[in-house]
């Protein structure tokens, strides 16, 4: 059993998966699309990864506004959730992703990754941060 974390953006989806023990998250890829509204190939690739990694649950980042409201990007993520649930049949948990892109950018700065190369990795790292946050929360709930 593994959990998949997704960072849904207008032209990319960062993908991470948990280890089988549900302790750590690892980034696996960034799915890119040319058109914001073209999701068929994106969903097909996610299905392939679900099969490959034996995923039983998905955690999808919810990019709320800093004042806790749902803006346009968050609404698109909620619509993507519906498509994911219909297409995969798996439960999709929404996870507050505020500041994950900022944290991903800071991690890359600390690692010495510069400029153009950052854009290549930021979505995958954000997916890792989303999933790791959820895994840590889940582990804390189990010990209560």
Q: What is the DSSP letter of 10?
A: S
Q: What pLDDT is attached to residue 28?
A: 96
Domain count across the chain: 1
| Contact criterion met (CB below 8 Å) for 31 and 45 | yes
Q: What percent of the chain has pLDDT over 70?
A: 92
Report the C-alpha gap between 144 and 140 in whole angstroms. 7
Largest CA distance in the chain: 45
For 52, the 3-state DSSP assignment is helix
We report the CATH number of the domain holding residue 126 as: 3.30.420.140
Q: What is the pLDDT of residues 13-52, one digit of tens each?
A: 999 999 999 999 999 999 998 877 789 999 999 999 999 9
Q: Which domain holds residue 109?
A: 2-143
């Amino acid at each position: 059993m593994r959990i998949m974390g997704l960072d849904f953006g207008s032209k990319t989806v960062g993908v991470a998966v948990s280890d089988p023990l549900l302790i750590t998250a690892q980034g696996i890829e960034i799915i890119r699309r040319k058109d914001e509204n073209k999701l068929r190939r994106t969903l097909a690739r996610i299905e392939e990864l679900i099969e490959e990694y034996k995923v039983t649950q998905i955690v999808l980042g919810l990019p709320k506004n800093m004042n806790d409201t749902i803006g346009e990007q968050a609404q698109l993520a909620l619509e993507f959730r519906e498509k994911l649930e219909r297409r995969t049949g798996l439960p999709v948990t929404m996870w507050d992703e505020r500041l994950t892109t900022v944290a991903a950018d800071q991690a890359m700065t600390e690692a010495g990754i510069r400029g153009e190369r950052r854009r290549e990795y930021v979505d995958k790292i954000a997916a890792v941060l989303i999933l790791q946050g959820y895994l840590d929360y889940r582990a804390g709930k189990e010990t209560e």
